[in-house]
Amino acid sequence: MREIQLKDAKATLSAVVDRAVQGTPSIITRHGRKDAVILSFEDYERLARAPSFGRLLAAFPGEPEDIPERGKGPPRPVDL
């Protein structure tokens, strides 16, 4: 994936889109900050169809006894 400034993307939009269709997305930056991504519609559709982690967990095909019980010991110490 390549980074391109917004002003350069505007000037060469057709080439940026052609690269995305060929499989090379571009990150559009503005004032040094990553603001957008140009990717092919095919890549967008594939990403949009990916299930969320919550849906994957909800679709777990096992039985409740397939999941091991949590430890009964005290929680480990955490430095904050």
pLDDT for 44 equals 95
- The two three-digit tokens of residue 70, written as one number: 């949590």
Predicted confidence (pLDDT) at residue 69 exceeds the cutoff of 90: no
State the Cα angle at 61 between 59 and 62, rounded to 5°: 130
- Taking the CA atoms of 35, 5, 37 and 9 in sequence, report the sign of the dihedral they define: positive
**Higher pLDDT pick, 10 / 61:** 10
Q: Is the pLDDT of residue 61 over 90?
A: no
Q: Summarize pLDDT for 1-26 with one digit per residue, the tens.
A: 899 999 999 999 999 999 999 999 99
Mean pLDDT, all residues of the chain: 92
pLDDT average, residue stretch 43-64? 88
